[in-house]
Amino acid sequence: KRIEQGESFLDIRARFVTFVDQLIEQARGGPDENLLFIGHGGLYICMLPLVLRNVSHAFALAQPFPNTGTVRAELESGKLWCREWCGGPVATP
């Protein structure tokens, strides 16, 4: 479902995941680069589990995401791994 003139979860997922996948493809084999994403916590709680290998939706929903919260991720072997979620470490399986 979506609100009138708004995007559904599936619409947002299609844009977000495609965008992040394109950035990962561009970064492969290139020099180390830093990227900064600025957005709403609600977006990140819903979308980051789709692109971070070690973050589930259950984890994201259970963690507080305060105003100005940050998530740090690193590209490793072509995959994004969350290293820190709002100041706390995230385990890598």
The pLDDT tens digits for 39-69 are: 899 999 999 999 999 999 999 999 988 999 9
Residue type, 7: E
For the residues 27-47, what does the mean pLDDT come to? Answer: 81
- Identify the pLDDT of residue 16: 95
Nearest to 72 by CA among 54, 56, 93, 57: 54
Strand partners of residue 82:
73
pTM: 0.85
- How many helices and strands in the chain, by DSSP H and E? 3, 3
CB 60 within 8 A of CB 49: yes
- What pLDDT does 32 receive? 65
pLDDT band for 75, please (50, 70, 90 cuts).
confident
Residue positions counted in the chain: 93
